[in-house]
Amino acid sequence: MPSLSPVRIRLALLALALGGFGIGTTEFVAMGLLPDIARDLLPALYTQDPDAALARAGLLISAYAAGVVVGAPTIAAFAARFPRKRLLTALAVVFTLGTVASALAPTFPLVVIARFVAALPHGAYFGVAALVAADLMGPGRRGRAVALVLTGLTIANVVGVPAITYLGQHAGWRVAYLAVAAIFAATALAIVLAVPWQEGDPRATVRRELAAFTRPAVWFALLTGALGFGGFFAVYSYVSPLATAVAGLREAYVPIALVVLGIGMTVGNILGGRLADHGAMKAVFGLFGAFSVSLVVLIIGAGSVAGLAIGLLLVGASASAISPAIQTRLMDVASDSQTMAAAVNHSALNIGNSLGALLGGAVIAAGWGYVAPAWLGLALCVPGVGFALAGWWVARRARPTGPAAPEPTPSELASVVD
């Protein structure tokens, strides 16, 4: 790739982050619009049992997450050889078309299918964009490159999701999804204009990319991310009823609650990228501890407006900081399956998304209340930390097969946990 001016690099990174902004908006906007979607697509059930209707509408969140889980490894395995700019443009176009279909589908089952299809490019986009950003930013800054691409996603929770939620509450949820489609169309154009040409990996093969799944440390990292984000999405999926039924806010204030959560996510993502560059495993352990404390704060304070705001801010910051740390860890242990490692992290996170939305809806439908998802998130932290420890142990015993960040010593881990 020829030498680029600082301005060109910034524009390219901005174009990549715009895609993250669109993805964050399309992924999270359903959380604030679940009551509207349930009333429109499930009117009979909503009239009879609003909680059950909300739980079923949560399937839209699970369907999107399932699309990410399927799409990320599939596209990464077959597309690693493709020129990266061309691949990113194609993925943005698929996002646009899938989101338009989500807005126009007439029935609940068809909307569920459309959300699944719209999610297929999600993990591959973030994975390829992270590799492009890492090349643009230079060596030793992978964690910050990952965080920069994810910054678009976190900013979406400060600006995009609340704004689109407000639009959906006043103009209809279908109009909200059409607005999201416009963001993806702008992303495709920005990539064409600003991102420099990068060849794919000519040595990449499906077998080589899939070889990532033969490494136990990769599986442990994926399980760690899935459980950590399962706890986060158990809370995030039901922010709207948490704010209205527990804190006593009017529905019009739900976008503000989402802004608070998004601010936390933006700050946490930047912090997580910097921590990952100084040791991904140390970052993972420390951030899981912070996430657990944040959930306790939310559980205790959710009944008041101030307690809800503080809890959501801390939960968003600590959970979001885990993501770049996990992705950097995956790139450390995946050897030469870098495209797969960069993409499949988002499969794991969206398994957590699906798991959190499903289990969060289940505990609500069981009558345990709208704070129950936060308790669920706290419970999921325990196996999450266990899998992180197992992955650290396996990686230390295995012979290194590629470039990897220095592993922390047991004493360093102990100091983090303490």
Q: What pLDDT score does 191 carry?
A: 95
Report the alpha-carbon distance of residue 25 to residue 130 in Å, rounded.
19
CATH superfamily for 6-199+211-417 is: MFS general substrate transporter like domains (1.20.1250.20)
Mean predicted confidence (pLDDT) in 104-108? 92
Block residue for tokens 């102990």:
414
Residue 171 in tokens: 């103009």
What are 416's two structure tokens? 């983090």
pLDDT in tens, 86-102: 999 999 999 999 999 99
Count Cα neighbours of 206 within 13 Å in the Cβ-side half-sphere.
3
Other Cβ atoms closer than 10 A to 220 = 22
94-98, 179-183, 187-191, 274-278: the lowest-pLDDT one:
274-278
Give the per-residue pLDDT at 2: 57
pLDDT, tens only, 350-389: 778 778 878 888 888 888 888 999 999 888 888 888 888 8
Q: Which two tokens stand for residue 335?
A: 């050897």
Structure tokens at 25: 């908006």
Residue range 23-37: mean pLDDT, rounded: 84
Question: What is the number of alpha carbons within 13 Å of residue 149 lying toward its C-beta?
Answer: 32
Residue 266 burial class via C-beta count within 10 angstroms: exposed 0-12, middle 13-18, buried 19 and up = buried
Task: Give the model confidence (pLDDT) of 41-74 as tens digits.
Answer: 998 888 888 878 887 888 888 788 788 888 888 8
Residue 417 has pLDDT above 50, yes or no: no
Domain boundaries, the chain: 6-199+211-417
